[in-house]
Amino acid sequence: MSVLIVGGGMTGATLALAISRLTGGALPVHLIEAQDPHSSRHPGFDDRAIALAAGTCQQLARIGIWQRLAERATPIQRVHVSDRGPCRVCESGGRGLWPVGAGPGG
């Protein structure tokens, strides 16, 4: 048995790596992507910031890639959400969690 993943964007590439690492390479993974991964035309390319939830950072650490991503990550200390109504403010302090985007180990 093997796994075929169609789409090498952020989700597909992460899934391929996770399956490979979590099975110790015992389950062959094939990743198909139509575009050059280094092209700005790649559907997964987005030059905007990406916010990752704490659980996502923990899973990325579990498969051994958070450490490399953390070098480029900037913690989000506060988020202000507003859309023509009462606003909401989320802060990382005081909840026993590391700042959003800081990842496991801060």
* 53-71 pLDDT, tens digit each: 888 889 999 999 998 988 8
The mean per-residue pLDDT over the stretch 21-28 comes to 95
Q: To the nearest 10°, the Cα dihedral for 54, 59, 60, 62?
A: 130
Tell me: the pLDDT tens digits for 70-82?
888 887 777 767 6
Q: How far apart are CA 76 and CA 73, in angstroms?
A: 9
Cα–Cα distances (Å) from 26 to 2, 38, 48, 105, in that order, read 9, 28, 36, 30
Q: How far apart are CA 24 and CA 47, in angstroms?
A: 32
- DSSP 8-class letter at 72: T
Length of the chain: 106
Question: Which residues pair with residue 3 across a beta bridge?
Answer: 29
Answer left, alpha or beta for residue 25, where phi above 0 means left and psi between -120 and 50 means alpha. left
**Averaged confidence pLDDT in the chain:** 80
Tell me what pLDDT residue 94 has.
55
